[in-house]
Chains A and B, each alone.
Chain A
Amino acid sequence: SQTIHQWPATLVQPVGSPLSLECTVEGTSNPNLYWYRQAAGRGLQLLFYSVGIGQISSEVPQNLSASRPQDRQFILSSKKLLLSDSGFYLCAWSGGGVINGYTFGSGTRLTVV
């Protein structure tokens, strides 16, 4: 069966520090991968999605970037965090057909201080 791993679960970072969040999927090949952010009390905002290695589409201009160095690995990065980057970051994958929607990882709660 397919599983998605996301880490760390929580992170407190100072303003201006770098960020690297990692997501990996097991049990499938060539998944579509997604990064969402959820600010406190808000909906899910799609940040990036990838349909293959090295293929990244950005939805929202910001100081974040994403990379997909391997088929089942998706990384979210920032060179310098802003206070507004605080939120709940969720990685998701799809690939089992539209009917199965997206499956989300357990998320990373990022607090920028």
Chain B
Amino acid sequence: QKEVEQNSGPLSVPEGAIASLNCTYSDRGSQSFFWYRQYSGKSPELIMFIYSNGDKEDGRFTAQLNKASQYVSLLIRDSQPSDSATYLCAPFSSASKIIFGSGTRLSIRP
């Protein structure tokens, strides 16, 4: 079983709608989680960090964490074409390393 599971997509969402990206993880020792965004041909950039169960909001982004279900998600409200990218879920593992999922490719259609 992979440490991090993400649907590879592509996930196509109309402009202005809510994009929902999901991630499951296997290491119960993971206590904190990152969402990175990676544009094609570029390096990943951090967009969200969450360590508590529940929701964390930052602008149009909301991260949701459910440790009991080992599930973390990212919601993007009012999706824009500039949100088209690959989104990487990344648990901070019990070995003090960040393990990246393979990412979900998101495409926002005008």
Cβ contacts under 8 Å, B45 to chain A: 104
How many angstroms from the CA of A82 to the CA of B100 in the assembled complex? 24
Total interface residues in chain B, CB < 8 Å: 21
Is there a chain A Cβ closer than 8 Å to B61's Cβ? no
With A98-B92, A101-B34 known to touch, is A43 a contact of B102 (CB < 8 Å)?
Answer: yes
Within the assembled complex, what's the spacing in Å between the Cα atoms of A9 and B42?
A: 11
Interface size of A as a range: 10 to 19
Are B46 and A44 in contact (CB-based, < 8 A)?
Answer: no
Chain A residues whose CB sits within 8 angstroms of the CB of B97 once the complex forms: 46, 49
* Binary contact track B68-110/A, C-beta < 8 Å → 1, others 0: 0000000000000000000010101000011111110000000
- Chain B residue nearest to A45 (CB atoms) is B100
Interface residues of A in 2-18 (CB under 8 A from B): none
* Nearest Cβ on chain B to A41's Cβ, whole angstroms: 9
| Beta-carbon contacts under 8 Å, A46-98 to B | 46, 49, 90, 98
Tell me the chain B residues, 32-81 only, with Cβ under 8 Å from chain A. Answer: 32, 34, 36, 41-46, 49, 51
Tell whether, in the assembled complex, residue A101 and residue B46 are in contact, meaning their CB atoms are under 8 Å apart: yes
Is A107 a contact partner of B46 (Cβ separation < 8 A)?
no
Contact B34 A44 (CB under 8 A): no
Q: List 18 A-B contacts (CB under 8 A).
A: A36-B100, A42-B102, A43-B101, A43-B103, A44-B44, A44-B88, A44-B100, A46-B99, A90-B44, A98-B51, A99-B49, A99-B51, A100-B49, A101-B36, A101-B49, A102-B98, A103-B46, A106-B42
